[in-house]
Amino acid sequence: MKADVLAVTGVSKNFGAVSALRDINLTVRAGEIVALLGDNGAGKSTLMNVICGSATADGGSVLVDGEPLTNLADARRLGVGVVYQDLALAPHLNLAENLFLGNEAVRRYGPVRVLQRQRMRREATEAIERLGISTLRDVTMPVGRLSGGQRQVLAVARAMKWAKNLILLDEPTAALGPKQVGIVLDSITTAASHGLGVVLVSHDIPSVLKIADRIVVLRHGTIVEDRTPAGLSVAQVVTMMVGDE
Ligand SMILES: Nc1ncnc2c1ncn2[C@@H]1O[C@H](COP(=O)(O)OP(=O)(O)OP(=O)(O)O)[C@@H](O)[C@H]1O
Q: Write out pLDDT tens, residues 156-197.
A: 888 888 888 999 999 888 877 888 888 889 889 988 998 999
Residue owning the nearest CA to atom 2 of ligand 1: 15
Domain 4-242: give its CATH architecture.
3-Layer(aba) Sandwich (3.40)
Query: Dihedral of CA 191/197/201/205: which sign?
Result: positive
Residue 128 — pLDDT band, cuts 50, 70, 90? Answer: confident
pLDDT of 87 above 80? no
Task: Give the chain's mean pLDDT.
Answer: 88
- Whether this model's ipTM surpasses 0.85 comes out as yes
Q: Is the CB of 85 under 6 A from ligand 1?
A: no
| Torsion sign across C-alpha atoms 127, 129, 135, 138 | positive
Nearest CA to ligand 1 atom 7: 15
Say if ligand 1 is within 6 A of residue 151 CB. Answer: no
| Between 122 and 220, residue with greater pLDDT | 220
Cβ(174) – ligand 1 distance below 6 Å: no
d(CA 43, CA 23): 12
How would you label 33-50 residue by residue, b for 16+ Cβ within 10 Å and e otherwise?
A: bbbbbbbeebbbbbbbbb
What is the mean predicted confidence (pLDDT) over 126-142? 76
3 lines ligand 1 (CB under 6 A): no
For residue 24, pLDDT over 80 is answered with yes
pLDDT at 163: 87
Q: Which residue of 14, 24, 39, 45 sits with most ligand 1 atoms within 8 Å of its CB, as the best mutation to test the pocket?
A: 45
> In this structure, which residue's CA is closest to atom 4 in ligand 1?
15
Quote the pLDDT of residue 230.
Answer: 93
In 50-206 the beta strands, taken as DSSP E runs, fall at 59-64, 67-68, 80-83, 106-109, 112-115, 166-170, 197-201
Give the confidence band of 245 by pLDDT, cuts at 50, 70, 90: low
Cβ atoms of 219 and 241 within 8 Å: the answer is yes
Which of 140, 133, 203 minimizes the C-alpha distance to 173?
A: 203
Rounded CA-CA distance 32/35 in Å is 10
- Please indicate whether residue 43, judged by its CB atom, sits closer than 6 Å to ligand 1: yes
Question: From the centroid of its chain, how far is CA 115?
Answer: 28
Domain assignments of the chain as residue spans, ordered by start: 4-242
Measured in angstroms, how far is the CA atom of residue 202 from the centroid of ligand 1? 15
Residue 130 has pLDDT above 80, yes or no: no
User: At 179, is the secondary structure helix, strand, or coil?
Assistant: helix
Tens-place pLDDT, residues 34-77: 999 999 999 999 999 999 999 999 999 999 999 999 999 999 89
For 104-119, write each residue's pLDDT tens digit.
777 778 877 777 778 8
- Whole-number pLDDT of residue 160: 81
What residue owns the CA closest to ligand 1's atom 17?
Answer: 45
